[in-house]
Structure formats: C-alpha cells, structure tokens
A and B are shown apart, each in its own frame.
Chain A
Amino acid sequence: MSNVARGRRVKIAGVALATMTVLLATACSSGGGGSTSADGKVSIDFSQWWGSELPDGDLQKIVTSFEAANPNITVNLLTQPYSTLQDQTTTAGVSGTLADVVGLDGAWVNNLVKQGALDNLSTEMTSTSYDASQLSSQVQIKGSTYMIPVVNFVYPLFTNDALLAQAGVTTPPATRDEFLADAKAISAKTSAKGWILPLGTTNPNGVQNDVMSWLWASGGSMMKDGQPDLTNDGVSSAVNYVKSLYDAKVVADGTFTLQEPDKVTQFTNGQVGMMVDSLAHITTIQKANPNLKFSISAIPATDGYTGKRGIPYASWGIGVSDKSAHKAEAWKFVQYLMSKDVNANVSSLAHGFPGNSTATPDFTGSDPLYEQAFKIYQAGYPANEFVGLPTSDQLMRDFDTAFQKTLNGDGSVSDMLSATQASWKKAF
C-alpha cells in the first residue's frame, strides 16, 4: 500500500470520525421546538394525542383554519397515542425538548412544572389582557396557570336498559341505596353482574373514576387546604360503600386487574348492568354493539343529598413549553383553540364539553345522550381532585394497592385510609 493511499485512508477515517461526532452532537442537542424561516414565518410544533382520537383530518382542518388567520405561523401536528405520549412528554420535559404547544393530561402537570418545562400561562394571559373568566377551569400550581382544559370528558353512570328491565328496575338509581339494590337485583335475576370496578394497577385511574367519583357525587372532598384528607367522613363513607358493593358480590370478577377498556368491553357485551364511564366511549359502545340500549344519568349520591353533584372528568389540556422560542405564537394558538366558536367545534368533534364556558357544543345530528349528559354536566360541577397533584398516578396506585388489600380481607377501611394518608403526605 502506498503512503499516498494510506494517507488518503487516514483522511477518510478522520472525516468519518468528524462527521459522526457532529452527527452525535447534533442528535444530542437537537430540541423538539419550532423554527423561524428566512421569510420570517414561524413554525411551531404541537404534540398531542387528540388527532388519533378525532375523526381523520379534523384536527388538521382546525390547524389549517388557524394558519389561514395567521399566515406567519405554521403549526406542525405531532400526533401520538395517549399511552406513548405520557412517557415521551415526561422525557421531553426533562431534556428540554418539549414541543412548543403540548397536549396535557392534568396528571402530568405538577411534575412538568417541577421540571421547569411548562410556561406560566398566567403571565401570558396578563401580558395579552386575556379574559380568563371565559375558561371553565384552569390547572394551577401555587396560584399560576400551567394547563387549560380544552375539552372535558365527563364520567356519568351508564345503565343497560334491558338488564335493568330484566331485574325489575324501571329508572336508573339516583342514590347509593338504590344503586346497591339495583346491582343486587341485576346480579340475582340476570346472568350479568350489577357493576364493574376496574382496579388494575397498570393504569390506576379506577381509583379516580370508579371509587372517588362516589365521594365527589355527594359533594365530598379528599383534600383540605391543599393537603390530602383521606380520613374524613365523606371519604370513609364512599370507600366503605364501594367495599360493601364488592362484599355483596355484585361486582364483576377480576376487579384487581381490570382496566378501563375491560369495563367498556364488559358493559358493551352485556356482562355488567352498570358502569361509571367516559362519554367519549358512547360511539365505541354503539359501534361494537348497535343493538345495546343504554341510558346515562348522574352518579348516585348519598340518601338525602341535595347539593350539586361533582362529576368526574378527564381533559384534553393544553400548555406551552417554557423552552419554546416562540411562546407568543404558541400562546396565540392556545387562544385560538379556546375561542368560543373553535372551542365549541373541537368539543363537538370530540363529543366532549367545551373548556370555554361561553361555548355550547353543537348537538345537531349527534346522539341525544350527549345533550342529556350536557344537562347533567351543567347541573353539577366537574370534579377531579387528582388533577395537578404531585405524582397523581403514583398516589392513585398507592391507594389502589392498599384498597385491594382491604377488599381482599386484609385490614379495615379506616386503617387503610390512615395508612394511605400517611403515604400520600410524603409526596406533598
């Protein structure tokens, strides 16, 4: 081999080494944010899971209409399923590569704020004189807003009309006593179980939707002065009530590993007569079993309760990355989504309820159940005390595991609540 050839090889190896170093450095440092083009146009990224749950192309249409109204801003949709987005948002928040505008679940907010990943939207509202009174709710940490719910999905009580009729029940239960009696009747007189309680720990949201919902429906609270208050009478009464349903064997088998999709499947197949579930599943249920007739109603409250009923909800929330180079444009996009007409449109498409309290969803052509649910929503108030709590998933999981032990006969409800209270306090 000649020296010239060898030298050439060394040069090639050197170039390869330099190229790889540059590539690696670029890979390590590149963020997920938008950019500004030479003509001054700003491009922002919007990561969310909504696009995968809306009809094909509908979210893009909304984005296109925003771009038409704001020709200098382009929005890139980064759509991923909810399950993968949670982990990715956490890691992106850590590495400072969160998209400019980010779709959020209330459970993620506290941690992202701790990481310094989310922009303080209260500052944006003040600087743009935004009228925050039109927002139905805001997720705040220490008095500052970090997430705005765009669409709310409420969790009413679903009842299978045929199974209730078979059990001799004429109207959906309105009180806890009625619910227990109806669940017993369904379990005794039909081949189905009265109720389903998914307490699987993979996604422990059964604690929020299927256990604490009984507390909120009777106007109770698990918090006091920003701290957990699990030992109060309301929580104790609700948890004891759920245990009484389990002990009465009116709950579907496999509670400890069931998840929300199992709940929907069993209700759709007529294996359970009643469930507390998201309105977002109405279409899924009707598509899977077009012959199933079901009703929705408010979650039963304690006997004699006449106050407003809290109704659990989940949100499509939105926030802005604190690391975004285009916060003004990102905030402009958030305002657009929260504007009365656009917000009503997004809510109608998603079969949810608007985050803008002045917006009314368009029920034309949609199932009458939605309009009925909107009345329940308006008569009560959205209640989800897990939103904004630190490590809310972990809090639910701690509760879930402790409650499973109690249901399995290991200890009393009051001991379990005291132990969980102590465990929760460590997170605050």
Chain B
Amino acid sequence: MTALRTGRVSSRFGSSRLARKATPYGFVAPTAILLIALMVVPIVLVISYSVSTGSITSKDAPFTGITNYVTLLTNPDFWNAAFNTLVFTVSSVVAHLLIGLGFSLMLNSRLLGSVPRAIFRVIYILPWLFTAAIIAVLWRLLLDPQGVVNYLLQAVHLAGSPIAWFGDPGAALFAVTVMNIWAGYPFFMISLLAGLQGVPADLYEAARVDGASGFQQFLSVTLPQLRPIIISMAMLDVLWTTQQFALIWLTTGGGPISVTEMLSTFTYKLAFTGFDFSMAATSAVIVLIFSLIVAIFYVRSQRSES
C-alpha cells in the first residue's frame, strides 16, 4: 500500500511541479482576463480607431497615422472646448476646495452645538445625494428666466429684466460652473471633515502654548495636516470635472454658441451626431493622455503619503 502510494507520488512528480507553478497564474487569471477584456482591449481599440479614418461606420477603415491628431489639434472648435474645460475645471476645483474647507471647518468647530451641527451636516451634504438629472432639472428651474433666481434679482432691483442664465452666451459658462460647484463641494467637505477630526489636539495645544493665533494655527497646523487629503482630492476632482458630461448635456448641450462646449460634449457630438468615431477616438485619446498624467501625479502622491 505504501509502495503503491509512493509510486503514485513519484509518477506525479513532474505534474505537481507544473501545478505548483501554475497555481498562482490560475488565481490571477480571472482578474487578468477581466482587466484585459474591460480595460486593455477597449483602450487599444480606441487608440486603433484614432489612427484610422471612418472606423466603425465603414467596413474598410484605412490607417492614417497621426492625421486625425493633426486635424483635431488644428481645429479651433477643439481648442474652444479645451479652453472651456480648463476654465470650468479650475474654477470648480478651487471653489470645491474653498467651500468644502470652509464648511468642514464650520462643522468641526466647537462653537457649533451638536444639534445644529447635525442639521447643517445634512443640509450641506444634500447636493451630493442628487443624481445629475435631478441637479440639472433643479438648476434649470432655478435659473429659468421665470425662475426663482430671476424673481429675487428683480425683486431687489439687481436685474431689470430676466436673465436667461443658461441661454445667454455671456452667462452660460458661469451658470454651469456654479451648478457644478454646488453639485461637487460635499465630497471635499466630507473628506476634509474626516481629516480635521484626525488632527491631534496636542498640536493645537502646542501651538497655543507658543502663542499662535487662530489664523496662525490654521496655517501652521490645520493646512499641513490636511495637505495630503487636499492634494489627493484636488487631483481626483480635476479628473472628474474634466470628464463632466451629464450636467452640461442636460442643461446647455454645449451651447449657446459653444460657450459651454467641453471636451466631453465635443467628443460625444463627434461620435454620436457626426458619426465620426475616428475623430471622437482621437479626442478621447487626448483626454486619456491628460488624465494619465494627472493619475501618475495622484499615484505618486499616494505613494509618498504611504
């Protein structure tokens, strides 16, 4: 019996070595396959579309090298969308940070009782609970020429006639940015509040002993302690805001006269109204490259933190 078992083991010696080597790969395989199928393949496909013409819509899509990139990068509409995206993103991220920081400091303050703090916490986080469609409808109603904002402005004589906030070329970019700021600040607020609650009290105590004023404590203790969170949040917010599509599409559609055209809406229109999937892919690849650069900085900042 023992001899028989020994014989089996020795006959399987080669296969057991193979099995030992293959086991980790077997476990990794499902994840690897999913990553390849859901990430690598689509990205490679999009890149391949971007270097061809008439991809998807025609059976033969000839290779055109970097022609699409040259065409797109010399298209003033693309640069208009890129500029609008830059203004929209920078304004939104800065405002998200300032408002989020202000509200988180307020919610963390000892000056606020527990009940008002709970009430404010619920009120301030509300925008984050709404979906993009709800936010768009809400702001369209608020900023309608016959809406609440115009009524109030006219009531206090700040406006003589109703302003079509989303329809006026001079006001539309401002209006969509304000809407996006409103929709996005709670994420900063919650994250910074969590950071503030983790700042050791003895640091403030030591600062007070050294005679630091409240503002000096904020500059020398609070901000340095929040720095890693602020950097991470800002980079994530840059990525998310750059890709904002739903709010723009549901309110202005990139208009009026393209003043709210973003890279996201520009790419969508190339693909689904112009059916120029090659140029849409080119635009998407350019956005991807930009996102990758930000992502690399994000990962680096995460590594340095850890």
Contacts and interface: CB of A to CB of B under 8 A. Distances in A.
B252 interface: yes
B65 interface: no
Contact of B274 (A3, A6, A391): A391
A257 B19 contact: no
Interface stretch (A14-22, A164-172, A178-186): A14-22
B167 A257 contact: yes
Contact of A254 (B166, B269, B273): B166
A256 B256 CA distance: 5
Interface string B238-267: 000000000001111111111000000000
Contact of B273 (A16, A24, A397): A397
Nearest to A259: B253
Interface residues on A, range: 35 or more
Contacts of A144: none
Contacts of A190: none
B16 A256 contact: no
Contacts of A17: 26, 29-30, 33
Given A201-B255, A397-B269, A21 B33 contact: yes
A253 B33 contact: no
A375 B166 CA distance: 39
Nearest to B162: A253
A271 B146 CA distance: 9
B31 to A, nearest CB: 10
A12 B29 CA distance: 12
B169 A6 contact: no
A94 B12 CA distance: 51
Nearest to A410: B257
A254 B164 contact: yes
Contacts of A86: 272
Nearest to B256: A256
A105 to B, nearest CB: 13
Interface string B26-60: 11011001100100000000000000000011110
A408 B167 CA distance: 11
Contacts of B23: 6, 9-10, 13
Interface string A113-128: 0111000000000000
B220 to A, nearest CB: 47
A361 B40 CA distance: 54
Contacts of A7: 12, 15-16, 19
A410 B256 CA distance: 13
B257 A405 contact: yes
A393 B271 CA distance: 12
Given A9-B26, A13-B29, A90-B272, A200 B59 contact: no
B20 interface: yes
Interface string A247-276: 000001111111000000000000100000
Contacts of A258: 167
Interface of B: 9, 12, 15-16, 19-20, 22-23, 25-27, 29-30, 33-34, 37, 56-59, 144-146, 162, 164, 166-169, 172, 249-258, 269, 272-275, 277
Across chains A and B, which 8 residue pairs bring their CB atoms closest together, nearest first? A13-B26, A202-B253, A256-B256, A253-B145, A254-B164, A254-B167, A201-B255, A3-B16
16 contacts: A7-B19, A9-B26, A10-B22, A14-B26, A21-B33, A24-B33, A87-B272, A111-B57, A116-B59, A201-B255, A254-B145, A257-B164, A257-B252, A391-B273, A401-B258, A408-B256
